[in-house]
Amino acid sequence: MALTGGADTTARKAKWWFVNAVVVVYALVPVLWIASLSFKTKETINDGNFVPREWTLENYRAIFGTSEFVRALVNSIGIALIATAIAVVLGTMAAYAIARLDFPGKRALVGVSLLIAMFPQVSLVSPLFEMERGLGLFDTWPGLILPYITFALPLAIYTLSAFFREIPWELEKAAKMDGATPAQAFLKVIAPLAAPGVFTTAILVFIFCWNDFLFAISLTSTERSRTVPAALSFFTGSSQFEDPTGTICAAAVVITVPIILFVLFFQRRIVAGLTSGAVKG
């Protein structure tokens, strides 16, 4: 390739830029469309124009003025953060054991988490609905946090054990030779090295919890614990006769912002996490 002429590489580059442009359009058009709708005024929202003819922040003002949305946003953030924290802690412990320790039952645990990764969530909706009503967990934060942790754990365990295998374990051995117990070796030596992998896993798990709709809509019934994706489907507009399109779009943009920020700042980590956890050759 080094021998080919300058014109040739320019042409090749131009071809790749064209391909890149196609990918960018593919990925961003639906996002830009909903953002565009959210900035349109009530009068122009039905004009079908991709770019708003008149810009307004009215829709954002409207959603932040309703407890319906603000409460849902608080629920979404709280539930996703708590579920992520717990799933990552439990997942880190299990992944460390799977990656480093030898104990009977390890294969069973890997097998079970694989099964759960493939589990049809809707199969749990009926029994969880009934059980949570009996236990008083229905329409509460823990009622959603529990299933989120469960379905996030396989993802966390796979991603983390893949990261943990990359860590230079001689350091752990050295620490043990210096008299550290396995637990000390874990906390003092390995945990700091594992931090980037843990952080990446936390992002992936957060995205998963943030995204859920089926549990959110089946296991909640009021504003008390309804998250934004579920609340969106109940939006009716600030008055009964108002078309909710603009407010739905504004709320949709608000919950898309954190995802865009993650992707912009942690692209490399997310790609590494997804590719290392899911497929190992």
Partner 1 sequence: MSATATPTAPDESTRRSGRHRLSEGKRAERRLGWLLCAPAAIVMLAVTGWPIIYSVWLSLQRYDLRFPHEREFVGLANYVTVLTSSYWWQAFGVTLLITVVSVAIELVLGMALALVMHWAIVGRGLVRTVTLVPYGIVTVVAAFSWRFAWSQDLGYLARLFSPEGAPLTERASALAIIVLAEVWKTTPFMALLLMAGLALVPGELLRAAAMDGASAWQRFTKVIVPVMKPAILVALLFRTLDAFRVFDNIFVLTAGAQGTSSVSMLTYNNLIKGLNLGVGATMSVLIFIAVAVIAFVFVKGFGTAAPGSDRDGRR
Alpha-carbon distance of 84 to 49, in angstroms, equals: 39
SS3 track for 48-90: CCCCCCCECCHHHHHHHCCHHHHHHHHHHHHHHHHHHHHHHHH
Alpha-carbon distance of 255 to 83, in angstroms, equals: 17
Could you write out the DSSP letters of every residue in 9-48? Answer: HHHHHHHHHHHHHHHHHHHHHHHHHHHHHHHB-TTTTTS-
Least separation in angstroms between CB 242 and partner 1: 15
Nearer to partner 1, 70 or 271 (CB): 271
Nearer to partner 1, 120 or 192 (CB): 120
- Whether residue 66 contacts residue 238, with contact meaning beta carbons closer than 8 Å, is answered with yes
Nearer to partner 1, 211 or 238 (CB): 211
Nearer to partner 1, 114 or 195 (CB): 114
Least separation in angstroms between CB 186 and partner 1: 8
Alpha-carbon distance of 217 to 143, in angstroms, equals: 12
Task: Extract the tokens encoding 267.
Answer: 């692209």
Least separation in angstroms between CB 240 and partner 1: 20
Nearer to partner 1, 57 or 271 (CB): 271
Least separation in angstroms between CB 197 and partner 1: 11
Q: Which class for 115: exposed (0-12), middle (13-18), buried (19 or more C-beta within 10 A)?
A: exposed
Least separation in angstroms between CB 104 and partner 1: 7
Nearer to partner 1, 71 or 96 (CB): 96
Least separation in angstroms between CB 255 and partner 1: 6
Nearer to partner 1, 97 or 198 (CB): 97
Least separation in angstroms between CB 147 and partner 1: 6
Nearer to partner 1, 67 or 264 (CB): 264
- Whether residue 38 contacts residue 60, with contact meaning beta carbons closer than 8 Å, is answered with yes
Least separation in angstroms between CB 34 and partner 1: 4
SS3 track for 142-185: HHHHHHHHHHHHHHHHHHHHHHHCCCCCHHHHHHHHCCCCHHHH
